[in-house]
Structure 1
Amino acid sequence: MSQFITLARPYARAAFGAAQDAQQLPAWSQALGFSAQIASEPQVAALLLNPQLTREQALMLLSPQGVDEAFTRFLGVLADARRLPLLPEIAALYEQLRAEAERIVLAKVTSASELPPGELDVIKAALAKRFGRQVDVTTEVDASLIGGAIIDAGDVVIDGSLKGKLARLQTALAG
């Protein structure tokens, strides 16, 4: 996985630079998200590795309707370099660059069960206060956490899950 990120990073930076120069950050975000979602489908991912897939076929498959020419050229560069399978990583790195430029913190809240909207708002407000920036929160449910939640905001991870507390208690008792 880290190899994919290393390979994807220069392409994500190039995409971000092109989008920023054209003042099209949201449009490129949508287009990359669309292309990445298609590229991550198992059948499409296998097809992208097929050497018989032509550049034009790949562009038809991955280009969203009505996208600007610069984005299509970007996909063409990826196709020529056989880097289309990296689209999910490129899109994720692009979103990180965009969030940084727009001073937004991307946070993921993984909880043992679905969070009520009011609780999610409280978490979002607390994170906004802590980071002094706008916070964009995505949620995920992982029943293996038993209870509580894990908040991942880039460099800051707050593990308030029951599973994490039990693991820390086990470590303390063993040591």
Structure 2
Amino acid sequence: MAGDTTTIARPYAEAAFEVAKADGTVDAWAEGLALLGAVVEDPQVTAQIGSPNATSQQLRDLIFGVAGEGLSEHLQNLVRLLAQNKRLIVLPDIARLFAQMKTVYDGLRHIEVTSAYPVDDAERSALGERLKAHFGGDVDLTVAEDPSLIGGVKVRAGDIVIDGSVRGKLERLSNDLQF
């Protein structure tokens, strides 16, 4: 279902980002969407959104009540639109996608590196410099350890995946040998 909600959320996030860029309010939008996403992820609010007895107007008023008075007119309109289309549940995905677009817009790329072995500070720094050169911009590096990779690293930057792990190479070799 997460993939489905991301697909539904993407056009809303892209449209919101275009409005935010045009208005010069990208930071304010990011904060507002993060707040709305957190509100919708609250278990009590999620239960209300999933209730067949709750009307769109009741759900919209609930979101506005919890979020407080600080929502811009654009954000209020987005909530109204999502409530009308019964898609309030995708607000956390919209916030996440918007944050990703903002990161790229700000010239910072979030990169997840998974290594078979622990990465020390010197290796992390060197890896960060190489990835900065490869992707052409500042990088925010998150490093995790996964011994099942056997050796090497796996790099994920948005939709781009570079699998330099031994496990990945073995899987590709296995696939090649099956034909």
Question: Does residue 165 of structure 2 align to residue 161 of structure 1?
Answer: yes
Provide the TM-score with structure 1 as the length reference. 0.76
Q: Which residue of 2 aligns with 1:7?
A: 8
User: Which residue, 108, 124, 127 being the options, matches 1:123?
Assistant: 127
| Structure 1 residue identity aligned to 2:28 | A
| Structure 1 residue identity aligned to 2:63 | A
Q: Give 5+ residue unaligned stretches, structure 1.
A: none
- SS of residue in 1 equivalent to 2:97: helix
- Aligned partners of 1:41, 1:145: CA distance in 2, in Å? 35
- SS of residue in 2 equivalent to 1:82: coil
Gap change, CA 1:69 and 1:107, over 3 Å in 2: same
Structure (1 or 2) with the larger CA radius of gyration: 2
User: Which residue, 82, 97, 100 being the options, matches 1:78?
Assistant: 82
- Aligned partners of 2:148, 2:82: CA distance in 1, in Å? 38
Aligned pairs for 1:99-114 within 5 A: 99-112=103-116
- SS of residue in 2 equivalent to 1:137: strand
Provide the TM-score with structure 2 as the length reference. 0.74
- Aligned partners of 1:165, 1:109: CA distance in 2, in Å? 17
Aligned residues: 174
Q: Which residue of 1 aligns with 2:154?
A: 150
Gap change, CA 1:74 and 1:164, over 3 Å in 2: same
Q: Deviations over 1:6-52 (max 9, x none)?
A: 32122112221232233221232233233324434555434322241
Aligned pairs for 1:22-61 within 5 A: 22-40=23-41, 44-51=45-52, 52=54, 54=58, 55-61=60-66
Question: Does residue 92 of structure 2 align to residue 91 of structure 1?
Answer: no
Mean alpha-carbon deviation: is it higher for 127-136 or for 101-110? 101-110
Query: Is the contact made by 2:149 and 2:166 (CA closer than 8 Å) also made in structure 1?
Result: yes
- Aligned partners of 1:40, 1:113: CA distance in 2, in Å? 34
| Structure 2 residue identity aligned to 1:130 | H
Q: Percent of aligned pairs with the same residue?
A: 36
- SS of residue in 2 equivalent to 1:110: strand
Query: Is the contact made by 1:59 and 1:76 (CA closer than 8 Å) also made in structure 2?
Result: no
- Aligned partners of 2:163, 2:139: CA distance in 1, in Å? 18
RMSD: 3.0
